[in-house]
Amino acid sequence: MSAALPTSSREWHLVARPHGWPQADDFALREAEVAAPAEGRILVRNKFFSVDPYMRGRMNDVKSYTPPFKLDHPMDGGAVGEVIASNAEGFAVGDHVLHGLGWREIADVPAKHAVKVDPDLAPLSAYLGVLGMTGLTAYAGLFDVASFKEGDAVFVSGAAGAVGSQVGQMAKIKGASRVIGSAGSDEKVKLLTEEYGFDAAFNYKNGPVRDQLKEAAPDGIDVYFDNVGGDHLEAAISSFNVHGRATICGMIAQYNSTEPTPGPSNMALIIGKRLRLQGMLVGDHADLQPQFVQDVAGWLASGELKYQETKVEGIENGYDAFMGLLRGENTGKMIVSLA
C-alpha cells in the first residue's frame, strides 16, 4: 500500500430535491475523510467523472429503474481513475479502473465493481463515452433495439450529443440510405453535416420540428432514435414510413418539467403504419459489449467514427458541468476532468 494517502476528498452531495430546473443550492461540495481501503476494496483517485442526463431523474424521490440519490450523501455515476491503494487481489497501485463512484476526488471502491482499463489503448475519458456507456447505448439502440438494416433512413435527435453523434455515424457506416440529425445550435448542425457525414441536419430551435424533418427527409424515415421526446417524437411518427421502428432512449425535453407532459397527438398513425416504438435501457445490453468494443475500436482506428468530448475542469465545477449538459452546452460527451 502507498504510504502517502490523501486524508480528505471533496465530493458533491445532493442536499435538496430540485423542483423543475435544479438550482445551485440543491447541491453542496463537501469534504470527506479518506481511510485506507478495507478488505476487498481499492482507493481510486478519479481523473474523470461523467455527468449524464439520467442523473436528473435520480434527483427525484420516485420509484424508477435506478434508486434516487440519497440526500446528504455523495452522488455517484461513471468515473475513471488511478488506483492509489489496494486491499484487493488483482488490483495494484497504478492500475487504471472504470467504476461507479464519480462526483468525488477519491473513491473507495469495492474491487468487484471496478473494471481495469488500459490508458494506452484509448484516452481514459473515452471509457466514459465513445467506448463506454453512451457508445454502447448508441450501438445497442440502433442495431439491436431498432433492428437497423442497410438502406434504412435514420433520424436521430440530440444528434450532436454523446449518444446521438455515435448513432448517426454508426448508421452511415452500416449503409443507411440517409441520416438526418437535429440539434440545438447552428454550429452543432454544421458539425453533423460537415464532420460526421450526416446527409441533413437542422436546428430544432429554428422552426417546427415536424416541418424541418419533412424537408430533411422527403422520402420519410425508417428508424427514429429518440433522445428528446415531445415534438421530436411527434414529428418522427408523422415522417415514418410503414414498418418504421423507434428506439425510445431518452426524453430530455421533459426531464425538468413540473407538470405531466402531453404525448404526441398523432399516435393513431402507429396503427396504419404498423410502427414499433421500443424503450431501451443500456444495462440490458451488456452481452453486446465485446462486439461493441471490437467494432468501435476498429471504426475509431480507421477514422470512420469520430467523437468529441466537452471537458469541464475541476471538481468545483461539477454542478456547472451537469447544468451545462441539460442546457446543451456540450458537444459530444460531457465530462468533468480532475486530471
Ligand X SMILES: NC(=O)c1ccc[n+]([C@@H]2O[C@H](COP(=O)([O-])OP(=O)(O)OC[C@H]3O[C@@H](n4cnc5c(N)ncnc54)[C@H](OP(=O)(O)O)[C@@H]3O)[C@@H](O)[C@H]2O)c1
Other residues' Cβ atoms within 10 Å of the Cβ of residue 250:
25
Which ranges of 84-178 does DSSP label H, i.e. alpha helix?
A: 133-139, 162-173
Cβ 11 to ligand X shortest distance, Å: 22
How far is it, in rounded angstroms, from Cα 29 to Cα 152? 47
Q: Does residue 220 belong to the site contacting ligand X (CB under 6 A)?
A: no
Q: Does 55 bind ligand X (CB under 6 A)?
A: no
**Which of 281, 288, 293, 323 is in the footprint of ligand X by CB under 6 A?**
281
Contact criterion met (CB below 8 Å) for 242 and 219: no
DSSP string, 46-65: EEEEE--THHHHHTS-S--S
- How far is the C-alpha of 72 from the C-alpha of 53, rounded, in Å? 21
Residue 181 engages ligand X in binding (rule: CB under 6 A): no
Helix (H, G, I), strand (E, B) or coil at 208: coil
CB of 9 to ligand X, least distance (A): 26
Q: Check if the beta carbon of residue 101 is closer than 8 Å to that of residue 6.
A: no
| Nearer residue to ligand X within complex by CB, 85 or 280 | 280
Task: Please identify, using beta-carbon distances, which residue of 34 and 131 lies nearer to ligand X.
Answer: 131
* Residue 277 in the binding site for ligand X (CB under 6 A): no
Report if residue 330 touches ligand X, rule: CB under 6 A.
yes
Residue among 7 and 258 whose Cβ is closer to ligand X: 258
- CB of 230 vs ligand X, minimal distance in Å: 7
Residue nearer to ligand X on the CB measure, 147 or 185: 185
Q: Counting contacts by CB under 6 A, is residue 54 touching ligand X?
A: yes
User: Which of 22, 135, 164, 181: binder of ligand X (CB under 6 A)?
Assistant: 164
Report the residue from 111, 156, 179, 228 that binds ligand X according to the rule CB under 6 A.
228
Q: 211-215 contacts: CB < 8 A, separation 24 or more?
A: 212/182, 213/155, 213/180, 213/182, 213/238, 213/239, 214/238, 214/239
8 A C-beta contact, residue 259 and residue 238: no
Binding residues for ligand X, rule: CB under 6 A, are 52-54, 134, 137, 158, 160-164, 183-185, 188, 204, 227-228, 249-250, 252-253, 280-282, 325-326, 328, 330, 334
